Amino acid sequence: MIDLTTIEPALLWTDVLLIGLVLALVGLVWHIRRHAHLAAPWRKVALSRAGMVSASVLAVFAGIGLLDSLHYRPALPDAPALAAGPGAAGKALRHSVELRHSVELRSALDALLDPLPTQVETTYSAPMATRAFNKTALEGAAPGGTARDYPRLKFGGAHLADEGAAKVRDIGERVVRGALSGLACAVGALALLALLCGPRAAIGRFRGWLFGNGEDATHWAAWTLLGIATLAGALAWLAGGYHVFGTDKVGQDVLYQILKSIRTALVIGTLTTLVTLPIGVVLGIAAGYFRGWIDDVIQYLYTTLNSIPGVLLIAASVLMTQVYMDTHPESFETVTARADFRLLFLCLILGITSWTGLARLLRGETLKLRELEYVQAAQAFGVSSWSILGRHILPNVMHIVLIAMVMDFSGLVLAEAVLSYVGVGVDPSMISFGTMINSARLEMAREPMVWWALAAAFVFMFALVLAANLFADAVRDALDPRTRVRGVA
């Protein structure tokens, strides 16, 4: 593991925003828990099995993304050696010479996955393979000098002497051992958590988590997490000896790439809503409440914006950023910082082009709300318009905002993939589902086909988007007053 005293934490812009968002979310949850009327609809989410399963899958994705957002710069290996010179002179030197840090940013996820990021083969290799995908000239393999054959991989299955039956047994052993240890770890963690919540009823609580308390579906979340832990355990043990999802053109492990892509998808999905939300909410309810010329201006604005092809606008802005970055290289310390700037800008421009749907939705709802009698009662009290917007309109459209936010998330993750494919997405050096799919374009044309990168990206992106959609459905069912069972006479 890394020596925590020698690293230098580094904060990228997206890290700051993402962590800020998580803190805000925690604050919101705390606020909702304190208010019974706000918490009531969320309990209905806990009643839905699909909601709980998708929420826990989303939580795992979010955890990976968050780990990948804790960036730092490791100390260069020679720096401590230099500092640790003998005698008083060496001590003085240690004080005067600071630790030198790498220009390459690493994240907590990289550290956790070590040595996976560094286990780079020369080129393509299939999942679980022990030999490369292409033949190369091997020296000394045949008695006559060189021969063309599939070379053994440097890391994939390198521990095996025999590639036949031993490989199968080894894989089987790793899967069983990994799955069991993953499951044991998860159960242990749950038990520890139950104990930490208060030792008195720990056993009952633990049993409730696992077998349900007869009221809600939270035990489904627990089972999902156990399932994921089992899967992750098996994957981790396999990844110790093999490239589970193969390697790409430059020999990098596809599993590693997938895990790195998750952060990009999450950043796009969440930060963009951070941009959309204020614009959409303010313009939407202002248009609906004030009517008249304000409504006209806002409507013209979003109708115009909607009529411009989004991709065109995004392409233009991204290319402009690229020009700025190329002419101001001094502003960016590392390659990652450059890529991050472009990612942030992509979020911004995606946000600016995608607030129109939310604004239109909120305008319609506000038009209805402003005619309601409690709003008129407030007007009769001479309450100022902005107070009415904040106190009466906004809280009553919040459920729409929430639903739209969760629904938009999956759309934005897919949008990133499409934009990167077109070439106006994230920086090419940044790993994302989009860049993976983009490179798969050529791999699919090969004979025999290199299918694993695309398949892996597809499976993970599918899981993420499906979980987001199912969660959005559960949230909508719980929060939308129209789906509630009405009272009957």
- Considering the complex, state which of residue 37 and residue 328 has its C-beta at the smaller distance from other proteins: 37
For residues 95 and 486, which CB has a smaller minimum distance to other proteins in the complex?
486
CA distance 193 to 202: 9
Nearer to other proteins, 169 or 484 (CB): 484
Residue 184 or 377 having the CB closest to other proteins: 377
81 or 488: CB nearest other proteins: 488
- 14 is written with which tokens? 């997206």
Question: Binding marks (x or -) toward other proteins, 333..372, rule CB under 8 A?
Answer: ---------------------------------------x
In angstroms, what CA-CA distances link 99 with 39, 86, 271, 284?
50, 17, 34, 52
DSSP states of 69-117 as a string?
A: T-EEEPBPTHHHHHHT-SHHHHHHHHHHSPPPB-SS-EEHHHHHHTTGG
Q: At what angle do helices 335-353 and 310-327 cross, to 10 degrees?
A: 150
Task: Give the separation between CA 366 and CA 394, rounded to whole angstroms.
Answer: 9
Site map (CB under 8 A) of other proteins, residues 28-47, x = contact: ---------x----------
Least spacing, CB of residue 47 vs other proteins, in Å: 10
Q: Which is nearer to other proteins, 322 or 379 (CB)?
A: 379
The answer to whether residues 395 and 38 touch, using CB atoms and an 8 Å cutoff, is no
Residues 367, 288 contacting (CB under 8 angstroms): yes
Of 137, 377, 444, 449, the one binding other proteins by CB under 8 A: 377
* Cβ count within 10 A of residue 14: 23
Count CB neighbours of 398 within 10 A: 13
Helix axes 13-34, 49-67, angle to 10 degrees: 140
> Judged by CB under 8 A, which stretch of 10-18, 97-105, 377-385, 471-479 contacts other proteins?
377-385
The site for other proteins, by CB under 8 A, has a size of: 22
Supply the minimum distance, in Å, between the C-beta of residue 5 and other proteins.
50
Region binding other proteins by CB under 8 A among candidate stretches 107-115, 238-246, 450-458, 480-488: 480-488
- Integer angstrom CA distances of residue 380 from 374, 393, 395: 10, 16, 20
Nearest CB to other proteins, comparing residues 43 and 446 = 43
Considering the complex, state which of residue 63 and residue 395 has its C-beta at the smaller distance from other proteins: 395
Residue 142 is inside which H or E element, if any?
strand 136-142
* 3-class secondary-structure state, position 377: helix
Among 4, 89, 445, 485, interactor with other proteins by CB under 8 A: 485
Q: Does 214 bind other proteins (CB under 8 A)?
A: no
Q: Which of residues 391-450 bind other proteins (CB under 8 A)?
A: 391-392, 395-396
Nearest distance, CB of residue 488 and other proteins, angstroms: 6
Quick check: 303 binds other proteins (CB under 8 A)?
Answer: no
| The residue to which tokens 């090419």 are assigned | 428
186's tokens: 């998860």
Whether the ω angle into residue 428 lies within 30 degrees of 0, i.e. cis, is no
Q: Which residues share a beta bridge with 287? A: none
Q: How far is the CB of 464 from other proteins (least distance, A)?
A: 33
* Beta carbon of residue 372, minimum distance to other proteins (angstroms, whole number): 5
Choose which of 344, 383, 402, 455 interacts with other proteins (CB under 8 A).
383
Q: Which of 376, 385, 429, 483 binds other proteins (CB under 8 A)?
A: 376
State how far the Cα of 356 lies from the Cα of 373, in Å rounded to an integer.
Answer: 28
Among 6, 299, 306, 379, binds other proteins (CB under 8 A): 379
DSSP letter assigned to residue 423 = T
Binding window for other proteins (CB under 8 A); candidates: 10-18, 20-28, 104-112, 387-395: 387-395
Shortest distance in whole angstroms from residue 43 CB to other proteins: 11
State how far the Cα of 429 lies from the Cα of 435, in Å rounded to an integer. 9
**Footprint on this chain of other proteins (rule: CB under 8 A):** 37, 372-374, 376-384, 387, 391-392, 395-396, 485, 487-489
